[in-house]
Amino acid sequence: MASNSTANFSFYSALSHPPVRSAGNSPDLSIYRPKDNPEYGAFKFQAPAEGLLQVGGPHSTETAWSDEFEIAWTKMGNKGPLVLFLHGVPTNRAQWEEVQGHVSRFCETISIDMLGMGESSKPRLYGRKHNPAPNDMWHWKNDVDYIEKLMQQKYPGRQFVFIADDWGSGIASQYAAEYNNRLNAFIQLDPITFDGYPVNEIQAIGRASAIPNTPEGDAQYAMLFAAFDQTLVQILKSMVYDSAKYNQYNLRYLTFPYVDVDYERNGTGDGVTDVAKSTTMNLKLHNMRVLSDRAAILSPALLLPHHPQHNPNGVQYQNITVPTLIMWGEYDNMMPAAQTQRFANVLGTDDVQITYIPRAGHFPATDNPEGVTDTIINFIRRVMGRNALADIYVGNSGIWKGDERQMIEELRLLHNIIG
């Protein structure tokens, strides 16, 4: 690095040249490293118990017991800090796709579908092959197990930043408390936490797990949930500040595990034998029952702090000593944003940043992906250093002067960063 006087002069140069366009331009994100094309795959692992998996094609009803499961993933980016994204409910990793794309210019990223959701394996009667009564395998400590195995296989020994939203945040809290030394930092987005559960929308789905797993029970379940596709859409639209963020096209990414969609039913292409219409786009009963089993295990006890007698399955929040960012949608009408302040008093770190995302409800990554991205990248830069990022970051919104392309080139040289 040059002397202070030379550096100061260079910084002056980087921020003082006239714009090449008129001032007040829209952000030009092409100044950054280009986004990588997403890479898709699945992590195969042996689970601690068996579950009934569907086998055959997408419309098959045939099942088989297995403990060989898959966790679907999407990778983006090839440089910078490693970042893991985990989604909420009732969604999947597509919920993070836009933010992950932005962050991947500056970090190496991977997002996953938690077990039982999205494109990951959906084991029905998980751990209940010989006794249908318990539902304990859906405790979040079992999600911690496959997340650690996945990260160690894909990125052996590497520390990472764990970012989780909503339901996934409960899993992430358990992971961070057990594997704090694996993390560079910890980020929660509108987390289900402390005594903020239950929420009625998910509680009602979980209650249906009590319906017997018999042909008669399945028929009863199918009748009670005949309008689940409509219910699911209404739940999702209630979780965003701007309900127009969801429409019949992008909702397919979130509803496909539970509802047939037109491009599945029209697979033959003849427009006759498999044409998509209301009576042929069936609900996927197997996947819905897995969601009910997952939802049934949720309780405030899983989210309140650990106590050896009163709450042995609770989270040992004091073990989380890495820098932590708590983000919350300003207009979250499901989980009140005031809960953020509790984190600052129970985590094992004093470095707790609290940020409210404007113009956002319970799913800020959908409502305001630019604001969420900006907060994430600035936090990572603060706790890991600006040279840790794969590129110089000068924001992704607001009014740009028009000279950013020259400015970023000079800043890259000053910080010895190859964009």
Residues 298-356 pLDDT 10s? 887 888 999 999 999 899 999 999 999 999 999 998 888 888 899 999 999 999 999 99
pLDDT at 1 (0 to 100): 46
In a domain, 64, yes or no: yes
Asked if residues 123 and 281 have their Cβ atoms less than 8 Å apart, the reply is no
Question: What is the Cα–Cα distance from 253 to 232, expressed in whole angstroms?
Answer: 13
Question: Which residue range forms the structural domain that includes residue 194?
Answer: 26-414
Summarize pLDDT for 90-105 with one digit per residue, the tens: 999 999 999 999 999 9
Token duo for residue 390: 């794969």
Q: What is the rounded average pLDDT of the residues 36-58?
A: 93
In a domain, 19, yes or no: no
What confidence category does residue 267 fall into, taking pLDDT thresholds of 50, 70 and 90?
low
In a domain, 70, yes or no: yes
Q: What is the rounded average pLDDT of the residues 33-44?
A: 93
In a domain, 14, yes or no: no
Per-residue burial over 247-286, b = 16 or more CB atoms within 10 Å of its CB, e = otherwise: eeeebeebbbbbbbbeebbeeeeeeeeeebeeeeeebbbb
Most confident region among 38-47, 224-233, 333-342 by mean pLDDT:
38-47
Q: What is the rounded average pLDDT of the residues 58-67?
A: 86
In a domain, 12, yes or no: no
- Indicate whether 272 pLDDT > 70: no
Per-residue burial over 297-321, b = 16 or more CB atoms within 10 Å of its CB, e = otherwise: bbeeebbbebeeeeeebbbbbeebb
Domain count, the chain: 1
Most confident region among 57-61, 78-82, 139-143 by mean pLDDT:
78-82
In a domain, 41, yes or no: yes
Burial class (CB in 10 A: 0-12, 13-18, 19+), 395: middle
- Indicate whether 172 pLDDT > 70: yes
pLDDT at 303 (0 to 100): 86
Across the chain, what does the average pLDDT equal? 91
Percent of the chain scoring above 90 in pLDDT: 70
In a domain, 6, yes or no: no
Q: What is the rounded average pLDDT of the residues 353-372?
A: 96
CATH of the domain at 86: 3.40.50.1820
Summarize pLDDT for 194-220 with one digit per residue, the tens: 887 777 888 889 999 999 999 999 999
Summarize pLDDT for 384-397 with one digit per residue, the tens: 999 999 999 999 88
pTM of the predicted structure, to 2 decimals: 0.94
- Indicate whether 398 pLDDT > 90: no
Question: What is the Cα–Cα distance from 370 to 392, expressed in whole angstroms?
Answer: 17
CA 381 → CA 100, 234, 273, distances in Å? 16, 37, 55
